[in-house]
Each structure stands twice: as C-alpha cells, then as structure tokens.
Amino acid sequence: MSISMTRPLLLWVVTVAGVIVPLRGTGAEQGCSQEAYERADRNVTAMLVRLRNRPQTVGARDMESLFRELGGCGDGYVGESIADVVTDFLVLRWSEFSRLYAIAKHNRAFMQWLMAFVGESARTESLQAIASNALTRCPGKAQQGCAAVLRRAKDALESQGRPLKDIGVYKRQ
C-alpha cells in the first residue's frame, strides 16, 4: 500500500518500507489517465525527435494533431516537452506559421494551447528566435498571430531579464 501526496509537477509516493520515491507528474491532476499520459509522452517525444532531426517533416497539421491527441495531458514533464515542441516548431518551421495561424484562428483552444507553451520556461535563444521571426518574417495574413507570439516571447524574455532589444535576426529555416 502507498500514500500519495501531490506536489506541483511532481508526485511523491511513500512506500510501505517508508522510502519516499519521487515520480514524474502523471497527468491525473487534469483527469488524464496513466495510460493516456504515457501515450501523450510517447507522442510528444516522437514529435520532438522529428522536429530536431528532420524539421521539414513536421507541419502545422502535425501540431494540430498533437494538440487533439493530448487532450488534458499537458502537465508535468509532458508539459515541459510540449513547450519544447512548440518553441522548436516556431523556431525551425516558421515557414509554416501562416498555416499554423490559419488553423489557430478558427480554433481558439488550439491558439491558447500554443501560446501557453511560449513562456518563461523556454530557452532564451528560442524565445529570441521566435520574437525575431515574428518581427521580421511575419506572413501578411498572420499579423495578429505574429503580434500574439511576439507579445508572449517578449514577456517571457523580460521575465528572464533579457530585453527585446537584444534580439538578433534568426536565419535558420
């Protein structure tokens, strides 16, 4: 028998032997079953590997599919990985931003999900690249989306003590 105590992003289990064992977040806090959480972890990890190894194979529809597959499983270590996927996508696949925004402007929950993961926990370099892309490479029909992304990146950079003026133009695509 074990006793569970929930902590933010971490679950502690006290076993019968009295040993305290930290477990990664299980998603149970948001009504996500253990099986669904493990599936979400596999899906997010696979997307991250694709983005980092073959970014050209990941498009806006893949991001939407990931959002739909995850359901309420977005906390704990899976949430950290989702933040990596979203920020890496906005850095490495900016050419897909107009498609991503076209989907997001018709699905408010998807847009909120994307913006939630452009935050202060993101790597400074990624936030700088995202802000630079939003400032210098915004597709004409996606001005509102670029403004939203720029605002989120700017706020996150400021919370890290990095002002927007430090941003250089990111050229990788």
DSSP characters over 30-56: GT--HHHHHHHHHHHHHHHHHHHH-GG
Of 42, 44, 74, 41, nearest in space to 58 by CA: 44
The arithmetic mean of pLDDT across residues 93-108, rounded, is 96
| CA 95 – CA 167 distance, rounded (Å) | 19
User: Mind listing the pLDDT tens digit for each residue in 126-146?
Assistant: 999 999 999 999 999 999 999
Residue 1: both structure tokens together: 């028998």
Residue 82: both structure tokens together: 């989702």
| CA 154 – CA 131 distance, rounded (Å) | 7
| CA 40 – CA 31 distance, rounded (Å) | 13
Question: Which pLDDT belongs to residue 23?
Answer: 36
Q: Is the pLDDT of residue 53 over 50?
A: yes
Contacts of 94 (CB under 8 A, 6+ apart): 133, 137, 173
Number of H helices, E strands in the chain: 7, 3
Contact at 8 Å (CB) between 143 and 121? no
Give the start-to-end residue ranges of the domains of the chain.
28-166
Question: How far is Cα of residue 131 from the mean position of the Cα atoms in its chain?
Answer: 15
The arithmetic mean of pLDDT across residues 80-96, rounded, is 95
Q: What is the mean pLDDT of the chain?
A: 80
Q: What is the pTM of this model?
A: 0.77
The arithmetic mean of pLDDT across residues 36-61, rounded, is 95
Residue 146: both structure tokens together: 């670029």
The arithmetic mean of pLDDT across residues 78-105, rounded, is 95
Question: Which pLDDT belongs to residue 93?
Answer: 97
Phi, psi dihedrals of residue 117, rounded to the nearest 5°: -100, 5
Question: Which pLDDT belongs to residue 137?
Answer: 96
Residue 39: both structure tokens together: 């599936």
User: Mind listing the pLDDT tens digit for each residue in 16-46?
Assistant: 333 333 333 434 445 688 898 899 999 999 9
Question: Which pLDDT belongs to residue 127?
Answer: 94
